Structure 1
Amino acid sequence: MYKNILRYLILPALLISGCGSTKSVRIKKYFDTAFFERQFVGFTLYDPQSGKTLYNYQGGKYFTPASNTKIFTLYTALHLLPDSIPALHYNTDGDTLYIEGTGNPVFLHPYFGEKAALDFLANREEPIALYTDNFYDDKFGPGWSWGDYAYYYSPERNAFPVYGNVLTAYRDGGKTKIVPESFRNNIRKKDKQHRPRSLTENTFYLPENLKDTLEIPFVTSPERVRELLSDTLKKDISLTHTPLPVYKKTLYSIPSDSVYRRMMHVSDNFLAEQLLLMSAQAVSDSLNARNAIDRALDSLLPDIPQKPRWVDGSGLSRYNLFTPESMVYILNRLYRELPRERLFTLFPAGGQSGTLKNSYKSENDIPYLYAKSGTLSNNHNLSGYILTKSGKILVFSYMNNHYMHPTGEVRQQMETLFRHIRDRY
């Protein structure tokens, strides 16, 4: 009897750990090396066809996810936002056009070239009044590094972004071009003592012989937005503190997937933050990221394996904590809910696009890995989908935290495992 009891106790443990098969034993040996002795690592591999976890190494432990957070932002936006980006809300009262920011990140954005909202405002003859008091959040996310304020990956958040909330400087025909042009008088010569921008004001420091395109976040405020709108439209714009009525109208812009794709492929923090704010407004009529996060965790993802500590849309914050199992959970939800063709276009493809263009290449130029990377200093993660040679699609999350070796060496270790899985599963 004792042997029978022992057998029933041991067998489930083997099934859960995945160590009962030769394939899983090889993965276990992969993690039993000296490389991982001085870092934290977690890995979960899941087969969505069978519904079985194929391997799980510390998958229930929490890690700093970095830009893997964007996978949760993507899922939230897909569920809460319409197929086209809400460009702005508006209402006409008397002889005035009242407009309200939706958090729309593409208005005058240098990448998208979106013109729906611009043409709409330019062609109106009424005076325009801008309402921005629906923004109930901070310019920076919780736990963001203050030292990032002057760099392209950390623009401020607000209700009515313009120009991606960055100054763009580039060379054209031997001259330095500034967008928006109204900031030209705010340019100073850069030296070794200066960051690209002053801490509290829009004074920018550019090298005398500018070679590369620079994007520098500017200090936002309702007044600054008003000035930029007025300068761009060549119209007087006023600020109002009177909310638009409940029956306000919505002007729509470009397809939402084009923004999701850009966010995921180049890991655009600004787009991620604004998409989370827009999702919040969809459920609460106010721009506060916490509202979107709470709705996602409470209503969209109530059975998530481990509830994360989730504080921003981009993953810039080190306050975020997610587990590999939770990453696999939401990736499986995406896999079940979206057509494969659409899903894979939203993720970078190994060796071909986005942040994975120069890594995880295949021998035949057909991608075998579609995934979102996430990197902060001493942390690197990758979560997504592996296409195996046997025709399976497997879901994975691989998280590395608090290492001191070069990130390139971490990637080499990861690629060794991914190729093993691709070839053997």
Structure 2
Amino acid sequence: MQFSFTQHPLFKTITKHLLWVVAITIVLASCAPAQKLGYGKNGHEYFDHKLFENQFTGVLVIDAQTKDTLINHNAHKYFTPASNTKIATLATAISVLGKQTPALIYTVQNDSLYFKGTGDPSQLHPYYQDSTVTQFLSKQKNLVYCPENFQDNAYGPGWAWEDYDTYYSPERSPLPLYGNVAIIFLKDSLYIIPEYFKDSLYNGGERNRKPFQNRFNRNQMPGDSLEIPFITSTKNTQKLLTSLLDKNIEIGTFPKGDSQTLYSVPTDSLLKRLMHQSDNFIAEQLMQLSAGTLTDTLNFNIARKHALDVLFPEMPQEPRWVDGSGLSRYNLFTPASLVYLLDRLYAEIPQERLFHLFPTGGKVGTLKNYYAGNPRPYLHAKSGSLGNNYNLSGYLVTDSGRVLIFSFMNNHYRQPTQKLKTRMTIFFEAIRDNL
């Protein structure tokens, strides 16, 4: 029996891939400049491909300089954004916060230092390990902690209850310490940070932590270390500070009158981790920081309202925006709204700084293993993933030097995400090579 390579499954796979590339390339090469992407400005025929038939897809691509729309498919319809929500958080924080992060608000009265948190997430954080606050407090004699400025919930609306003991879901709080997580690790013996929880380990069970207690399961230890969110409260913050400073901490009300601000890490260091590592905790605390900068109260809704009413009143479709991280499936953004935010950022921030804050395809952050350029990076974007949802929004630099702003959103699919990423890569590379 004579073997025919054309009948081999590999040949069919390669042919299918090449036809996809050729089809996009022909469309890009044959249309007028304003219509090069996807059969005119709508591009519906392109998305008739069977890959998209059982999911919901929306794409918007514009030219950063001319603002011409290059492709528009469902761009004004709402999608679950997942961590693309962090683009709105980034835009808010950049507009509201200064170069340094406010770490503590304090005043001195009657030989006592009254202090309240700002929401700064860097204090003793596993990554930053900043000790600005604790070093400052250690030099004071009488300390009074005032938590009344925090007027929010520890969890965002719609957060999954089952994530309470997972590293990506720490609680929100006014004065975070250690990133609001306990770290358990093996060295010569078993250790836990903060050491305050050393007597809070137990054996057995399927969860990393007891649901309503700061008791951590030592049996869930992996090979190196495990981060487990702990329950935050005024009482727990008081106990942690007392343990750290070896000082008595009283609870009180912040006095009226003048106050001073203590600053910690550069704000860009928070923004970079927000985007590169898609850090949910940093995202939530940045919104608390923004609210506290605008008012005397830490509350997500204050920062969101300021962003929508004052900073971005011309957003094409008002989003349903319920948290800073995108953990909640209640969030709803359109591709057009995300492109609007990205366009505002591009207009107001130097390109070098802006692209440095975003993950870069094939290089850094959550895109390190995807969308690599050859020979140079071409994609600077934020991904957003939840079960059955994958979105990517950001900036694409073409071989001709044009900067394009895009949002490519995929919701409610059942296929492997990797297959979707492969198709998206082909799409982005065709744009890069032909515009």
Q: Which bin holds the TM-score, normalised by the shorter protein?
A: over 0.9
Report 1:18-167 matches (<5 A).
Answer: 21-25=35-39, 28-124=44-140, 126-167=141-182
Determine the structure 1 residue equivalent to 2:403.
Answer: 393
2:412 maps to what in 1?
A: 402
- Asked if 1 retains the 8 angstrom alpha-carbon contact of 2:37 and 2:71, the reply is no
Aligned: 1:356 with 2:367: yes
Change (3 A) 1:234 1:384: same
CA gap of 1:139–1:300, structure 2 versus 1, over 3 A, is same
Check conservation: 2:185, 2:221, Cα contact below 8 A: no
Compared CA separation, residues 88 and 335, structure 1 to 2 (3 A): same
| Counterpart in the other structure of 1:181 | 195
Asked whether the equivalents of residues 19 and 25 of structure 1 are also in contact (C-alpha less than 8 Å), the reply is no
Q: 2:81–2:384: 8 Å Cα contact kept in structure 1?
A: yes
Partner of 2:6: none
Preserved CA contact (<8 Å) 2:378 2:398: yes
Task: Work out the CA distance in 2 between the residues paired with 1:198 and 1:269.
Answer: 22
Aligned length: 403
Residue 264 (structure 1) shift: 0.7
Offset at residue 93 of structure 1 (A) = 0.5
Q: Note if contact 1:18-1:24 (Cα within 8 Å) is conserved in structure 2.
A: no
Amino acid at match of 1:355: T
Q: 2:10 is matched with which residue?
A: none
SS in 1 for 2:381: strand
The CA distance in 1 between the partners of 2:278 and 2:173, in whole Å, is 19
2:308 match: 297
TM-score by length of 2: 0.90
1:70 Cα offset (Å)? 0.5
Please tell me whether the aligned partners of residues 276 and 292 of structure 1 are also in contact (alpha carbons under 8 angstroms): yes
1:207-226 equivalence runs, <5 A: 207=219, 210-226=222-238
Per the alignment, residue 292 of structure 2 pairs with: 281
- Tell me, in whole angstroms, the C-alpha distance in 1 between the residues paired with 2:39 and 2:414: 27
User: After the TM superposition, which parts of structure 1 deviate over 6 Å for at least 4 consecutive aligned residues?
Assistant: 17-20
SS at match of 1:91: strand
Contact 1:19-1:28 at 8 Å conserved across structures: no
Distance 1:101 1:41 in 2: 42
SS at match of 1:417: helix
* Aligned partners of 2:34 and 2:70 also within 8 Å: no
1:180 partner letter: P
- Contact 1:18–1:54 under 8 Å retained in 2: no
Unaligned runs of 5+ in 1: 1-16
Distance 1:282 1:105 in 2: 15
CA distance in 2, matches of 1:87, 1:286: 14
Q: 1:208 to 1:160 in 2, by over 3 A?
A: closer
Check the 8 A contact 2:34/2:69 in 1, yes or no.
no
Rounded Cα–Cα distance in structure 1 between residues aligned with 2:400 and 2:282 = 37
Q: Percent identity?
A: 48
Whichever residue aligns with residue 48 of structure 1, its letter is A
* Structural RMSD (CA): 1.6
Q: CA deviation at 1:23?
A: 4.0
Secondary structure, counterpart of 1:207 in structure 2 = helix
TM norm structure 1: 0.92
* 2:385 counterpart residue number: 375
Pick aligned residue for 1:230 from 235, 238, 242:
242
Q: Shift in Å at residue 25 of structure 1?
A: 2.1
